[in-house]
């Protein structure tokens, strides 16, 4: 009998886990500076939370949820995304009684029963953020700039920010009607999914990737011509702020998003290096969702980053930031072994990855072990080194070597020697 992880669900182990941790640390650091607090919601929620939040007629709710009946006969679902849970918590915990804005972030697994392919998994991680209580476009701009800063701090560059406004409850019905009129006569020629979307949510036809549908929808009404004064002022305000901060973006009038809760601003960050699943992050405003969940009218906006996709990009581009090297301490003789252990502890206390050989072995076998552990440097201490107070170091990757005073090893390595220059 062979055991294997479920299809579309992956173990994340070394060496990749280090990239994950570096990205998470970069995100936490930036979130902290923008005043976002972490929240940890359950991965399992009552199914109606997602139906209510994401929308009955979305792909996620119709086809992709891991829904089952628990032993108490309740319908429960593994969260397919984070926003609905955060809003449920916001209302349940009365966070609207606290002074706005309330800024929350989360890092965790999401579950969607999709067909696995490159960049698409059934269990995937998101780093998400949600800000409640501010209707002004300055919050949209802050969210977009914070997202850009997180992606940059993680080491990514060359990404495209696509932005759109899909209007609100006041102006969307007119736009919807204009689309229905436009698609109406020809709807039988669209793909079966679009024919379904025609009834449920004709905006989503704009998002269809089937070549024939793209061709057919040429010249369809543009949402910008249907925005009400409030939505137009909001969108222009946002773009003006982004322009004044030199944030580059592309306007994408077809960016309608696959979740029903959005109002006004929608955005997506894409990379040309990912193939079909090219969105690395996405989000938007959802000014009505808190009310839908029984809370007071509260404007809100947020985003989620797809971790697997940015880790793929980082591994391909190898643009991880400077880091302290991994050090293996090899010792010869019991006196040196004791000294070596002290150095290993001092290195660890200084924030450096350090490993030792645990017991006596020849220098050759210790260096082989150092290599196997992935250490970038070996520090060698024998009787001579103890007497002179100087340890030998060896660059395991590039072959260089030198000496360092035994009592200053921790400072020498914790300064962040770059091994990739």
Indicate the helix (H) or strand (E) that contains 270.
strand 265-270
List 43, 191, 200, 279, residue binding ligand HAM (CB under 6 A): 279
Is residue 163 a contact residue for ligand HAM (CB under 6 A)? no
How far apart (Å, rounded) are the C-alpha atoms in residues 47 and 68?
Answer: 9
List 90, 226, 303, 353, residue binding ligand HAM (CB under 6 A): 303
List 121, 175, 235, 267, residue binding ligand HAM (CB under 6 A): 121
> Over the Cα atoms of the chain, what is R_g?
27
Is residue 264 a contact residue for ligand HAM (CB under 6 A)? no
List 140, 142, 162, 308, residue binding ligand HAM (CB under 6 A): 308
The DSSP 8-state label assigned to residue 408 in this structure reads G
Minimum Å distance from CB 84 to ligand HAM? 8
Minimum Å distance from CB 357 to ligand HAM? 41
The DSSP 8-state label assigned to residue 222 in this structure reads P
By rule CB under 6 A, what count of residues binds ligand HAM? 24
| Tokens, residue 34 | 């923008």
Is residue 299 a contact residue for ligand HAM (CB under 6 A)? no
DSSP-H helix ranges across 10-136: 16-33, 47-54, 59, 83-92
Options 176-184, 222-230, 274-282, 291-299: segment touching ligand HAM (CB under 6 A): 274-282
**What are the start-end ranges of the E strands in 79-189?**
102-111, 123-132, 160-165
Minimum Å distance from CB 164 to ligand HAM? 13
Is residue 153 a contact residue for ligand HAM (CB under 6 A)? no
List 23, 281, 313, 380, residue binding ligand HAM (CB under 6 A): 281
How far apart (Å, rounded) are the C-alpha atoms in residues 208 and 205?
Answer: 5
β-partners of residue 109 are: 125
User: What binding mask, one character per residue, do residues 68-107 give for ligand HAM by CB under 6 A, x or -?
Assistant: -------------xxx------------------------
| Tokens, residue 418 | 């770059």
Is residue 312 a contact residue for ligand HAM (CB under 6 A)? no
Options 158-166, 168-176, 281-289, 359-367: segment touching ligand HAM (CB under 6 A): 281-289
List 112, 197, 204, 394, residue binding ligand HAM (CB under 6 A): 112
Long-range contacts of 201-207 (CB under 8 A, 24+ apart): 201/55, 201/57, 201/58, 201/260, 202/176, 203/166, 203/172, 203/175, 203/176, 203/179, 203/256, 204/256, 204/258, 205/179, 206/179, 206/253, 206/254, 206/256, 207/254, 207/255, 207/256, 207/257, 207/258
**Cis check: omega of the bond before 64, within 30 degrees of 0:** no
- Please name which of 356, 348, 358 lies closest in space to residue 410, comparing C-alpha atoms: 348
306 vs 340, beta carbon nearer ligand HAM: 306
Is residue 234 a contact residue for ligand HAM (CB under 6 A)? no
List 45, 130, 287, 339, residue binding ligand HAM (CB under 6 A): 130
130 vs 337, beta carbon nearer ligand HAM: 130
- Please name which of 164, 176, 401 lies closest in space to residue 264, comparing C-alpha atoms: 164
Is residue 355 a contact residue for ligand HAM (CB under 6 A)? no
Is residue 133 a contact residue for ligand HAM (CB under 6 A)? no
How far apart (Å, rounded) are the C-alpha atoms in residues 137 and 287?
Answer: 12
Minimum Å distance from CB 80 to ligand HAM? 8
Q: Which residues of this protein are in contact with ligand HAM, per CB under 6 A?
A: 81-83, 112, 114, 120-121, 124, 126, 128, 130, 259, 279-284, 302-304, 306, 308-309
């Amino acid at each position: 009998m062979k055991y294997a992880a479920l299809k579309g669900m992956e173990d994340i182990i070394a060496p990749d886990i280090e990239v994950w941790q570096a990205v998470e640390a970069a995100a936490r650091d930036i979130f902290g500076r923008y005043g976002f607090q972490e929240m940890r919601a359950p991965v399992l929620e009552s199914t109606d939370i997602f139906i209510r939040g994401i929308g009955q007629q979305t792909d996620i709710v119709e086809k992709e949820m891991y829904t089952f009946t628990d032993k108490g006969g309740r319908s429960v679902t593994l969260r397919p995304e984070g926003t609905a849970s955060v809003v449920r918590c916001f209302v349940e915990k009365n966070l609207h009684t606290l002074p706005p804005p309330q800024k929350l972030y989360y890092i965790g697994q999401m579950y969607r029963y999709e067909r696995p392919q490159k960049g698409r998994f059934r269990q995937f991680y998101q780093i998400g953020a949600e800000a409640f209580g501010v209707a002004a476009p300055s919050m949209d701009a802050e969210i977009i700039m914070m997202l850009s800063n997180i992606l940059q701090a993680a080491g990514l560059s060359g990404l495209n920010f696509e932005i759109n406004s899909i209007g609100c409850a006041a102006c969307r019905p007119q736009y919807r009607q204009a689309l229905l009129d436009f698609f109406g006569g020809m709807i039988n020629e669209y793909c079966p999914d679009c024919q379904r979307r025609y009834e449920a949510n004709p905006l989503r036809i704009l998002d269809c990737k089937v070549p024939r549908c793209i061709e057919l929808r040429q010249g369809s009404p543009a949402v910008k011509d249907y925005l009400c004064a409030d939505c137009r002022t909001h969108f222009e305000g946002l773009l003006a702020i982004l322009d004044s901060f030199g944030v580059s973006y592309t306007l994408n009038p077809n960016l309608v998003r696959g979740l029903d809760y959005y109002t006004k601003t929608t955005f997506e960050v894409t990379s040309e290096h990912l193939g079909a699943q090219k969105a690395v992050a996405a989000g938007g405003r959802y000014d009505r969702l808190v009310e839908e969940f029984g809370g007071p009218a509260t404007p809100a906006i947020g985003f989620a980053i797809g971790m697997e996709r940015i880790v793929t990009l980082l591994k391909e581009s190898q643009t991880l930031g400077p880091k302290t090297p991994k050090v293996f301490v090899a010792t010869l003789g019991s006196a040196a072994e004791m000294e070596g252990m002290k150095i290993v502890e001092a290195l660890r206390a200084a924030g450096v990855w350090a490993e030792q050989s645990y017991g006596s072995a020849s220098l050759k076998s210790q260096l082989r072990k150092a290599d196997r552990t992935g250490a970038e440097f070996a520090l060698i201490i024998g009787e001579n080194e103890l007497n002179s107070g100087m340890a030998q170091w060896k660059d395991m990757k590039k072959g260089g070597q030198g000496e360092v005073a035994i009592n200053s090893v921790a400072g020498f390595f914790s300064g962040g020697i770059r091994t990739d220059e």
